[in-house]
Amino acid sequence: MPQEPPTYTHGDVKAEHFWLTPDGVTVLDLDCCRLGDPALDLGLFLAELHLWADLLGKSGVEQAQERVLAGYAPGAQRDRLIRARFYESLELVRAAARRLPMWDRGWENRVARLVGRATRILEGFRKKCG
C-alpha cells in the first residue's frame, strides 16, 4: 500500500489526552510524539471511539466514526483512510490486552467484542487490498 511522507504524530491518542475548555482543546501527554504515518493518530482515535462506546454501552460507534472521518478528511487520500482503519484494528487488540482490567465484570465479553471488531476490520482490509 502506498505510504505518505512521515509527519508529526501524537502517537498515544486517548480521550484523556484531550482537555476541552470553552476556549478550545489542549492536547496533553506529548511524550510519545514522533514522526510517523499521518494515518496513525486517526486510527488510534477511531479505536478510542470504539473503546468508549463499548465501555459506556452505547451504540452508533460506526456512525460517530464516519462523522469523524467526514470532518477530518473530506479530501484525504483513500490509502490514508485504509491505513487508519488498519491502525484502528491494531489498537483495539492492544487495548484489549493492556487497557481492560481483568477484574472488571464482563471483562471477557469486552475483550471478545474488541478483538471481534479488529478481526472484522482486518477482513475488510484484506478484501479491499486483495
Q: What is the DSSP letter of 76?
A: -
Confidence of residue 2 (pLDDT cuts 50, 70, 90): confident
pTM for the predicted model, two decimal places: 0.84
Question: Each residue of 57-92: pLDDT tens digit?
Answer: 888 888 988 888 888 766 777 888 888 999 999 999
Q: Considering the domain boundaries, does residue 32 fall inside one? A: no
Q: Considering the domain boundaries, does residue 100 fall inside one? A: yes
* Cβ-based neighbours of 54, under 8 Å, separated by 6 or more: 61, 110, 113, 114
Question: Each residue of 8-52: pLDDT tens digit?
Answer: 998 888 888 888 899 998 988 888 899 999 899 999 999 999 988
Count of structural domains within the chain: 1
Q: Considering the domain boundaries, does residue 80 fall inside one? A: yes
pLDDT for 130: 66
Q: Considering the domain boundaries, does residue 21 fall inside one? A: no
Question: Is the C-alpha dihedral spanning 13, 55, 88, 111 positive or negative?
Answer: positive
* Domain that residue 86 falls in: 39-129
Q: Considering the domain boundaries, does residue 13 fall inside one? A: no
pLDDT at 116 over 90: yes
Q: Considering the domain boundaries, does residue 61 fall inside one? A: yes
Q: Considering the domain boundaries, does residue 1 fall inside one? A: no
Q: Considering the domain boundaries, does residue 76 fall inside one? A: yes
pLDDT for 35: 95
The two beta strands, 7-9 and 18-21, are unpaired
Do residues 44 and 52 lie in contact, with contact meaning Cβ atoms separated by under 8 Å?
no
